[in-house]
Amino acid sequence: MLVYLIRRLSQAALVVAVMGTIVFLSMYAIGNPIDLLAAQDASDAEKAELARQLGLDRPIWEQFLIFAGNAMRGDLGKSFVYNEPTLRLILQRLPATLELALTALVFSVALGIPLGVYAGLKPDSWMSRTIMSGSILGFSLPNFWIGLMLILFFAVELKWLPASGRGETVDLLGVPVSFLTWDGLRHLFLPALTLSLYKAALVVRLARAGTREVVMQDYVRFARAKGLSYRRIVLVHVVKNMMIPVVTVLGLEFGSMIAFAVVTETVFAYPGMGKLLIDSINRLDRPVIVAYLMFTVLLFVIINLIVDLIYAAIDPRVRLVEAKG
């Protein structure tokens, strides 16, 4: 177990290092930030002075070495725009995005598992067909469009829910969270629903396929022969086996949910990391973009590790020993 962890962590460090190099170098492909940062009527001398202050006048390899050296110490630089450490900027926005992604995850599981299991148990009923057709919509409708439609319907027409922002927050262990206030929950509902629909569709299909496979198994027939109630057979024997692939995929998807939050956060003007990223890209705020991407990589690596650990907890046949590869 310990050996496994050490091996995984060193693999993770390698991934982060490679990613850092690629991200830093690719920043040079998207344009010169000086053009945007300097005042429109700035002279060439003023521009050169600004470049010197930001260190953008040095050769690219030197800039990279400075970046790599600082990154080793956990310093990902200062934002050109805010003149604040980028990591602090990101961490300020992180709770909002995590809250959004977690709520969306809960929505997609709460929505996807029951519907998927139902469709798997009764594959030929019209309800199941409706669920499966609905899941195709969930897959194919673009995120921003769903968001806009929800705003139009719930916020503009019905005026039930607010259209943008995060609402009232309270501090929980020093972290501002909005799910503990009624106003915060009202603000959270629409963006979380928007973000969750695609995942819910995925969960429905996974749960359905898993259920259909599991109900064919001998142990389900044996469970029936033992005289167990239908309820227990489905809730314990079928669902627990069916959850194995669902957890694997959901864990990986959680990372992408944080990444996809970019679009949803923009539509709902939700003050999360995604919105920060979009704003930074618009202003060519290189350090923030680099730091955001590095942070995302780290997040994915950590989530993958957690998924493996959860996986071992559900499926007793998986033992985390020194795995090859």
Partner 1 sequence: MTAVLEVSDLAVTFGAREGLIKAVDGVSFSVARGEVLGLVGESGSGKSVTSLAVMGLIDPPGRIARGSIKFEGQELVGLPEEDFRRLRGRRMAMIFQDPMSTLNPVLRIDTQMIETILAHEKVSEKAARARSRDALAKVGIPSPEERLVAYPHQFSGGMRQRVAIAIALLHGPSLIMADEPTTALDVTIQAQILAEVQKLAEETGTALVWVTHDLSVVASLADRVAVMYAGRIVEEGPVADVLTQPLHPYTDGLIGSVPSRNRRGVPLAQIPGMTPSLARLPAGCAFRPRCPRSTDICATAPEATDYGGGRKARCFHPLIDLETAA
Euclidean distance between CA atoms 100 and 167, whole angstroms: 13
Confirm or reject binding of residue 153 to partner 1 (CB under 8 A).
no
Q: Which two tokens stand for residue 66?
A: 């400075």
Question: Minimal CA–CA distance to 311: which of 267, 252, 226?
Answer: 252
Of 60-68, 90-98, 136-144, 222-230, which segment contacts partner 1 by CB under 8 A?
Answer: 222-230
CA distances from 2 to 6, 75, 317, 320 (A): 6, 29, 18, 9
Q: How far apart are CA 313 and CA 309, in angstroms?
A: 6
Q: Convert residues 109-128 into a mask of x (bound to partner 1 by CB under 8 A) and - (unbound).
A: --------------------
| Cα distance between residue 2 and residue 294, in whole Å | 26
CB of 179 to partner 1, least distance (A): 32
Select 7 or 129, whichever has its Cβ closest to partner 1: 129
Of 15, 185, 244, 278, the residue at the interface with partner 1 (CB under 8 A) is 244
Q: Evaluate whether 112 touches 203 at the Cβ level (below 8 Å).
A: yes
Between 139 and 219, CB nearer to partner 1: 219
- Identify which of residues 42 and 121 has a Cβ nearer to partner 1 in the complex: 121
Candidates 144, 145, 182, 222: give the one binding partner 1 (CB under 8 A). Answer: 222
Listed ranges 43-51, 52-60, 180-188, 240-248: which one lies at the site for partner 1 (CB under 8 A): 240-248
Decide if residue 219 touches partner 1 (CB under 8 A): yes
Q: Would you say 67 or 118 has its CB closer to partner 1?
A: 118
Rule CB under 8 A: is residue 225 a binding residue for partner 1? yes
If binding is defined by CB under 8 A, does position 317 make contact with partner 1? yes
Total site size for partner 1, rule CB under 8 A? 22
Whole-angstrom CA distances from 240 to 85, 162, 211, 264 are 45, 38, 10, 32
Q: How far is the CB of 218 from partner 1 (least distance, A)?
A: 4
In whole angstroms, give the CA distance from residue 10 to residue 12: 5
Nearer to partner 1, 188 or 233 (CB): 233
218 binds partner 1 (CB under 8 A): yes
Q: Which stretch binds partner 1 (CB under 8 A): 14-22, 87-95, 108-116, 223-231?
A: 223-231
Contact positions vs partner 1 (CB under 8 A): 217-219, 221-229, 232, 236-237, 240-241, 244, 314-317
